[in-house]
Amino acid sequence: MQHPKNRLATAMAKYTVATQNMEQVVMFPSLLRDVPVEWQQGICSADDGAQDLYESYMMLKSIRMTVETGAIPLDDWAAKEEIKDIKTEIEECPDLEAMYQSHIKGLCYVLNRLTNQTHALTSRYKDILGLSH
- Identify the pLDDT of residue 96: 82
What DSSP line would sit under 39-95, residue for residue?
-GGGS--GGGS-SSHHHHHHHHHHHHHHHHH-PPPHHHHT-HHHHHHHHHHHHH-S-
Would you say residue 124 has pLDDT above 90?
Answer: yes
Would you say residue 1 has pLDDT above 70?
Answer: no
CA–CA distance, 108 with 115 (Å, rounded to integer): 10
The widest CA-to-CA distance across the chain, in whole angstroms, is: 55
Phi, psi of 40 (to 5 degrees): -75, 150
pLDDT: which is higher, 73 or 16? 16
Phi, psi of 34 (to 5 degrees): 65, 10
CA–CA distance, 122 with 23 (Å, rounded to integer): 9
pLDDT tens digits, one per residue of 49-105: 668 999 999 999 999 998 988 877 666 555 566 667 777 777 777 788 888 888 899
pLDDT: which is higher, 67 or 4? 67
- Identify the pLDDT of residue 72: 72
Percent of the chain with pLDDT over 90: 50
pLDDT: which is higher, 42 or 8? 8
- Identify the pLDDT of residue 42: 46
Contacts 24+ apart (CB under 8 A), 2-10: 4/100, 4/101, 4/104, 4/105, 4/108, 5/104, 7/104, 7/108, 8/104, 8/107, 8/108, 8/111
- Give the list of residues 6+ apart from residue 68 with CB closer than 8 angstroms, or none: 16
- Identify the pLDDT of residue 18: 97
pLDDT: which is higher, 45 or 21? 21
